[in-house]
């Protein structure tokens, strides 16, 4: 094991966790959240929905199969920092090209291992997610001072930090034309649509409804993404202008954008849903599936109006996991049907979306 420098994670309530530096020997501030997945750490690191967050993995050994060139979900590592119990320095996999620490270091992202992750998770579950700071070779007082002067997570528009710089083709196949509004899109959403033969155009989050419709889409996908949906009034206005014009699929943050466009409210969860084992019940069929989730906000069901109704719920806490509309061709889910990582129980969501496109053309 390479020699590691002392590192520290300080929470805004003053709680301190000591460990060893992995990745870049630098500092980071972000909202500290936990993910219960046992695998998929590379996809988690590169998921844009984690922008601005320090991610804690509850599974104790992370990095055991290394880093591959294929298992990424965006252009770069998106997390602000990474916290694990034990980072593996000798991964074993024929596709591995680097260790976890090397991957983080190459992109100047700090991490910490040797942390009592059970204690940290219990604190976040009991107190709720909170801001935190990672640092190497610094005193706790200095780190806490930096943390308390930092901008809070829910006041930042992270979507416009992770979205595409310009429109680009996600696929040039000859099938139905799907436009993805990139709020923080994962590559596997594009892969899922390509598998079904779709032609894809990805557009930045700032794209107007008029410009989207000018592309003549057969359907629109509102992607997942990071941050508080209340920071995205401009996106909500454009989504409102799209309602009724073409079928729409909303995923995670995209689901929240659809809900807000239909007049509903959102609220922050105490510690969010992040992991690959969340049970979701479809209220129409009664079917229960296991889902991959990554979100810290949810839709208030009592605020729904204008023809929107709850279609799916989370069996752990009864929060809204899906919406349908009585009149408009709208499908929305709070979880990640594309997984990466996680179960594939809901991959048919994309097929259901294409059925909406077929009824519209």
Return d(Cα 260, Cα 254) in angstroms, integer.
10
Q: Any catalytic annotation for residue 70?
A: no
Return d(Cα 75, Cα 48) in angstroms, integer.
9
Check residue 352 and report its DSSP letter. H
Could you give the 3-state DSSP secondary structure of residue 343?
coil
- DSSP assignment of 60-117 equals SEE-TT-B-SS--SSSS---SEEE-SEE-SS---TT--B-HHHHHHHTT-EEEES--H
Q: Which of 160, 177, 255, 336 is catalytic?
A: 336
Total count of residues recorded for the chain:
361
* Pick from 119, 85, 9: nearest CA to 54: 9
Residue 232: beta bridge partners? none
- DSSP assignment of 253-320 equals HHHHHHHHHTT--EEEEEEEEEEEEEEEEETTT--EEEEEEEEEEEE-GGG--TTEEEEEEETTT--E
Q: Which of 252, 255, 321, 325 is catalytic?
A: 252
Q: Any catalytic annotation for residue 278?
A: no
Q: Any catalytic annotation for residue 336?
A: yes
Residues carrying an active site annotation: 252, 336, 338
């Amino acid at each position: 094991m390479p020699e590691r420098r002392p590192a520290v994670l300080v929470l805004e309530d003053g709680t301190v966790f000591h460990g060893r530096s992995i990745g870049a020997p630098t500092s980071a501030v972000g909202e500290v959240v936990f993910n219960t997945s046992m695998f998929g750490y590379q996809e988690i690191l590169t998921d844009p929905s984690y922008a601005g967050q320090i991610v804690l993995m509850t599974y104790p050994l992370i990095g055991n199969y290394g880093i591959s060139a294929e298992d990424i979900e965006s252009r770069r590592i998106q997390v602000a920092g990474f916290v694990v119990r034990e980072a593996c320095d000798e991964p074993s996999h024929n596709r591995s090209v680097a260790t976890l620490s090397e991957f983080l270091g190459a992109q100047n992202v700090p991490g910490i291992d040797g942390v009592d992750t059970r204690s940290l998770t219990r604190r976040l579950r009991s107190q709720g997610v909170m801001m935190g700071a990672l640092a190497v070779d610094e005193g706790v007082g200095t780190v806490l001072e930096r943390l308390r002067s930092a901008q809070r997570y829910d006041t930042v528009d992270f979507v416009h930090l992770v979205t595409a710089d310009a429109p680009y083709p996600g696929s040039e196949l000859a099938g139905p034309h799907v436009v993805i509004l990139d709020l923080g899109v994962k590559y596997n959403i594009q892969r899922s649509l390509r598998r079904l033969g779709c032609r894809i155009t990805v557009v930045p989050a700032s794209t107007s409804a008029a410009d989207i419709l000018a592309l003549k889409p057969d359907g629109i996908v509102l992607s997942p993404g990071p941050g508080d949906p209340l920071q995205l009034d401009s996106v909500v206005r454009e989504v409102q202008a799209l309602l009724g014009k073409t079928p729409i699929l909303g995923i995670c943050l995209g689901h929240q954008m659809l809900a807000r466009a239909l007049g509903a409210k959102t609220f922050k969860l105490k510690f969010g849903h992040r992991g690959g084992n969340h049970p979701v019940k479809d209220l129409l069929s009664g079917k229960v599936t296991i889902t991959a989730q990554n979100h810290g906000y949810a839709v208030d069901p009592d605020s729904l109006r204008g023809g929107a109704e709850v279609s799916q719920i989370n069996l752990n806490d009864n929060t809204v996991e899906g919406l349908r509309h009585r009149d408009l061709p709208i499908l929305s889910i709070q979880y990640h049907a594309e997984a990466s990582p996680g179960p594939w129980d809901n991959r048919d969501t994309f097929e259901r979306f294409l059925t909406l496109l077929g009824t519209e053309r």
